[in-house]
Amino acid sequence: MNIVSALLKCFFRQSTKKTLESSLDIDAKLFNKRNDIVVVATSSIPHRDVARVIGNVTGTSDTQVCSKELFELAEKEARLDLIEKAQLLGANAVVDLKLISGSYEQEGSIWHLTQTVYSGTAVVVS
């Protein structure tokens, strides 16, 4: 039984380390995008006019969440995905940003998992 406990501790320690490294990498990408695109939860941006509405954009995370650390990682992944999709559409801003998370149980698992999605409206502002 001690061997199993040691293996589980090692697995979770590696998972936590991987999560931290991924989270820091995404933080750096999000920080670099701050100069290229404005993202707000409101329907307008102070001192900016919406020149063109491109449309709805969503960002999702592939990380299935079953802990606080994984939720934080998934939230960042979904936000980065939304920003990258908006930029591909030609947007320089996203307004009406909303975080959506849905929980479900994976078949055959005892874990309660959460999927993280961001939604917003891609726009061009001047």
| One-letter-per-residue 3-state SS of 32-87 | HHCCCCEECCCCCCCCCCEEEEEEEEEEECCCCECCHHHHHHHHHHHHHHHHHHHH
Mean pLDDT, rounded, for 107-123:
82
Q: What is the CATH number of the domain that holds 103?
A: 3.30.110.70
User: 89 by DSSP, 3-state: which?
Assistant: coil
Whole-angstrom distance, CA of residue 95 vs CA of residue 52: 12
- Residue 66, pLDDT score: 75
Label residue 112 by pLDDT band (50, 70, 90). Answer: low
Query: C-alpha distances in angstroms, 63 versus 28, 106, 122?
Result: 18, 13, 24
- Residue 109, pLDDT score: 64
Is residue 38 a contact partner of residue 97, using CB atoms and an 8 Å limit? no
- Residue 48, pLDDT score: 95
Label residue 54 by pLDDT band (50, 70, 90). Answer: very high
Strand order in the sheet with 112-125: 38-39, 93-105, 112-125, 50-60
pLDDT above 50 for 5:
no
Q: What is the pTM of this model?
A: 0.79
- Residue 70, pLDDT score: 84
Which residues span the domain enclosing 13? 2-125
Query: C-alpha distances in angstroms, 100 versus 51, 58, 78?
Result: 27, 10, 10
User: Taken in order 70, 75, 76, 82, is the CA torsion positive or negative?
Assistant: positive
- Residue 65, pLDDT score: 78
pLDDT tens-digit map of 79-101: 999 999 999 999 999 999 999 98
Please tell me the total count of domains within the chain.
1
* Six-digit token string for 12: 């979770």
Residues facing 103 on adjacent strands: 114
